[in-house]
Amino acid sequence: MSVRPQPHPVGPKPPFWRDRAKRALIFQVLLIAAVAAFLLYIIGNTQANLAARGITTGFGFLTNTAGFGIVQSLIDYSSQSTYGRTFVVGLLNTLLVSALGVLAATIIGFTVGIARLSPNWLIARLANAYIEIFRNIPLLLQIFFWYFAVLRTLPSARDSLSLGEVFFLNVRGLYLPEPLFESGFGLIPLTLGIAVAASIALVVWNKRRHEATGKRFPAGWFSLALILGLPLLVLVATGVPVTWDVPQLTGFNFRGGITIIPEFLALWLALSIYTASFIAEIVRSGIQAISHGQTEAAQALSLPRNLVLRLVVVPQAMRVIIPPLTSQYLNLIKNSSLATAIGYPDLVSVFAGTTLNQTGQAIEVIAMTMAVYLTISLLVSMFMNWFNARVALVER
């Protein structure tokens, strides 16, 4: 006897709340409705509140005169400038302290991270102590420490600490000599450009030759010599067309030279030292993530130690290091907004602080400030995705 396959019994259609597709649709429609209702409620309240306070919305205030000065500005700025210009000044100051902070944090972080792996017990312990101390203390506290406990207690201009009567450090900041370029100096950037172009050509040629013949040529050292040597040669040949404007004590203050305000110094020090402790941990774990088999295999090919590092360990470690490293850079940029606590004129301080208080345009100002940070983090994560796609292991 054979069993005939019975056609599957078709029951009544399930109710719509048991149908997954319909349920998803209903759920999403409800979500949109809820979000829209929430937004409408908020917008309605905001309009009522703004009307009650007599605030007109819009970005017209950006062309009004700001009427306050800013202690540090990379572009021309005076109290006659507009609020739009304060925005740009603040943005540039944020970018300045972030860029220099990233640079210093990278140098300190890589040094400490490598020192942490040193076979020397004492050096490894010291590096570990640095990491554990600085990453477990709030950044704001570190900024206050450098600003109020260190830089604010420095002597006055008369009793400045000086280095060779050229660099001066006092309670008003750090004074550096400023180079003044005379005519004929234009040749030097030009030769620098030529040297860089020649080095790139050299490196490309070397790589092609290496791939074709297997012969190596120390292109790195030659490029370094070219980039440093050629402009230096021209500098000497043209009779050093640079004079230094050394700061001079006149009355109660210094004149001339470059002044670095203490707010900048405090913020920069704290940001670099704090972020460096995280970078050091990233570098350490990145190098440790390379399996021992890799180094052993490279040694078995009798590669010398420096080539093992350069060709085997570092390229693989960088793949592990760079993604968390960029997110630390992003953190540093966002943390630079703590400038407002000590009065360094960054974006949040001059725009979301002073400008907001003067104009009362809370929504526009906060939205613009947030948009800047969002743009930066979007750009960085785009770079990250590009980088990850480029270095990803080619798997089957």
Partner 1 sequence: MTIQEKMLEARPAPKSTVGPVAWLRANLFSGPVNTVFTLLGLYLLYLLLTPTIQWAFINADWIGTSRDDCSREGACWVFVNARLGQFIYGLYPGSEIWRVNLTFATFAGLIAWLAIPRLPYKRWVAVATLVGFPVLAYFLLYGGHFGLRVVETHRWGGLMLTLVLAVVGMVGALPIGIMLALGRRSQMPIVKSFCVVFIEFWRGVPLITVLFMASVMLPLFMPTGVSVDRLIRAFIGITLFQSAYMAEVIRGGLQAIPRGQEEAAAALGMGYWKRMGLIVLPQALKMMIPGIVNTFISLFKDTTLVMIIGLFDLLGIVQAALSDSRWLGFALEGYVFAAFVFWVFCFSMSRYSQYLERKLHTGHKR
Residue 280 tokens read as 């050091």
* CA distances, 396 to each of 213, 271, 298, 393 (Å): 30, 42, 24, 10
Residue 217 tokens read as 């040529």
User: Considering the rule CB under 8 A, would residue 32 count as an interface residue with partner 1?
Assistant: yes
Integer Cα distance of 223 and 230 in angstroms: 10
Contact assessment for residue 33 and residue 40, using Cβ atoms and an 8 Å cutoff: no
Pick out residues in 106-125 that bind partner 1 (CB under 8 A): 118-123
Beta-carbon contacts of residue 240 (< 8 Å; ≥ 6 apart): none
Beta-carbon contacts of residue 91 (< 8 Å; ≥ 6 apart): 347, 372
Q: Which stretch binds partner 1 (CB under 8 A): 78-86, 132-140, 160-168, 180-188?
A: 132-140
In the complex with partner 1, which residue's Cβ is closer, 219 or 350?
350
In the complex with partner 1, which residue's Cβ is closer, 137 or 246?
137
CA dihedral defined by 248, 175, 147, 106, rounded to 10 degrees? -170
User: Considering the rule CB under 8 A, would residue 392 count as an interface residue with partner 1?
Assistant: no
User: Considering the rule CB under 8 A, would residue 136 count as an interface residue with partner 1?
Assistant: yes
Alpha carbons within 13 A on the beta-carbon side of 98: 22
Tell me the one-letter amino acid at 320: V
Residue 75-104 contact track with partner 1, rule CB under 8 A, x = bound: ------------------------------
Q: Which stretch binds partner 1 (CB under 8 A): 31-39, 67-75, 84-92, 154-162?
A: 31-39
Kindly tell me which residue out of 266, 287, 348, 350 binds partner 1, with binding defined by CB under 8 A.
348
Q: How far is the CB of 174 from partner 1 (least distance, A)?
A: 20
Kindly tell me which residue out of 95, 366, 384, 391 binds partner 1, with binding defined by CB under 8 A.
366
User: Considering the rule CB under 8 A, would residue 369 count as an interface residue with partner 1?
Assistant: yes
Pick out residues in 36-55 that bind partner 1 (CB under 8 A): 42, 45-46, 48-50, 52
Q: How far is the CB of 31 from partner 1 (least distance, A)?
A: 6
User: Considering the rule CB under 8 A, would residue 155 count as an interface residue with partner 1?
Assistant: no
User: Considering the rule CB under 8 A, would residue 282 count as an interface residue with partner 1?
Assistant: no
In the complex with partner 1, which residue's Cβ is closer, 42 or 107?
42
Kindly tell me which residue out of 92, 139, 174, 188 binds partner 1, with binding defined by CB under 8 A.
139
Kindly tell me which residue out of 40, 74, 149, 297 binds partner 1, with binding defined by CB under 8 A.
149
Contact assessment for residue 115 and residue 127, using Cβ atoms and an 8 Å cutoff: yes
User: Considering the rule CB under 8 A, would residue 128 count as an interface residue with partner 1?
Assistant: no
CB-CB neighbours of 39 under 10 Å: 10
Q: How far is the CB of 250 from partner 1 (least distance, A)?
A: 30
Q: How far is the CB of 25 from partner 1 (least distance, A)?
A: 9
In the complex with partner 1, which residue's Cβ is closer, 49 or 248?
49
Q: Which stretch binds partner 1 (CB under 8 A): 6-14, 26-34, 183-191, 388-396?
A: 26-34
Residues at the site binding partner 1, with contacts judged by CB under 8 A: 24, 27-28, 31-32, 35, 42, 45-46, 48-50, 52, 118-123, 126, 132-133, 135-142, 144-145, 148-149, 152-153, 334-335, 337-338, 340-341, 348, 352, 356, 362-363, 366, 369-370, 373-374, 377-378
